[in-house]
Amino acid sequence: MSSLANPDDDAPAAAPRPVGRSAARLAAVQALFQIDSTGTDPQAAVQEFRTHRLGAADTGEGQPDLGHADKSFFAAIVLGAALRASEVDALIVATLPAQWSLRRIDPVLRALLRAGCFELLARDDVPARVSVDEYVSIAHAFFEGPNPGFANAMLDALARRIRPDEFATADDKPGG
């Protein structure tokens, strides 16, 4: 009996394209990197992304699809991280290993930590563990080797510092 199975059935599935808030987070990291490396005004960077990158039908071969990004979430992360840069950077520096400076961190990783830290500070509608997982996934998209693990450790420490109640066990909580 001949098989009617599709020969492509055994092929690995393509990585899912980011949508909604996941795509917005990815775009926010890219925009924050651009702001940091070129000195672009945050509002101008948001406008450029909205005009040229978000909502684009095809971003090109090998480029992430940002067409389904949540544009308001993207703008909130970028503008919020820029507006609260001193606070965000101070929290990141306080979480870094001793004798490390913010400039020692790879610029993309620095942008990712800034986006994640701001989201943890300002977006309590998003559970801390979700934020951490999302940004660690983005780290895996940009890096191999130790950087995704470093991002995970930093974001987890930031989350525990910024939102300790979300990490408290039942025994730690009052009346628990």
- The two counts, helices (H) then strands (E), for the chain are 7, 0
Which of 19-33, 58-72, 94-108, 124-138 is predicted with the least confidence, judged by mean pLDDT?
A: 58-72
Question: What's residue 53's pLDDT?
Answer: 83
Euclidean distance between CA atoms 148 and 44, whole angstroms: 29
Which of 9-13, 35-39, 50-54, 81-85 is predicted with the least confidence, judged by mean pLDDT?
A: 9-13
Question: What's residue 97's pLDDT?
Answer: 92
Residue 144 has pLDDT above 80, yes or no: yes
Domain locations along the chain: 18-165
Q: In 3-state terms, what secondary structure has residue 69?
A: strand
Query: What is the amino acid identity at position 61?
Result: E
Question: What's residue 119's pLDDT?
Answer: 98
Question: What's residue 137's pLDDT?
Answer: 95
Residue 18 has pLDDT above 90, yes or no: no
Is residue 154 a contact partner of residue 92, using CB atoms and an 8 Å limit? yes
Beta bridge partners of 20: 69
Question: What's residue 169's pLDDT?
Answer: 74
Q: Is domain 18-165 given the CATH code 1.10.940.10 in the classification? A: yes
DSSP state of 164: G
* Polymer length of the chain: 176
Which of 57-61, 108-112, 127-131 is predicted with the least confidence, judged by mean pLDDT?
A: 57-61
Write the pLDDT tens digit of every residue in 21-79.
999 999 999 999 999 999 999 999 999 999 988 876 544 444 456 778 899 999 999 99
Q: What's the whole-model pTM score?
A: 0.82
Backbone region of residue 73 per phi and psi (left: phi > 0; alpha: psi in -120 to 50; beta: other values): alpha
Question: What's residue 155's pLDDT?
Answer: 98
DSSP state of 18: P
Question: What's residue 57's pLDDT?
Answer: 52
Mean pLDDT, the chain, as a whole number?
A: 86
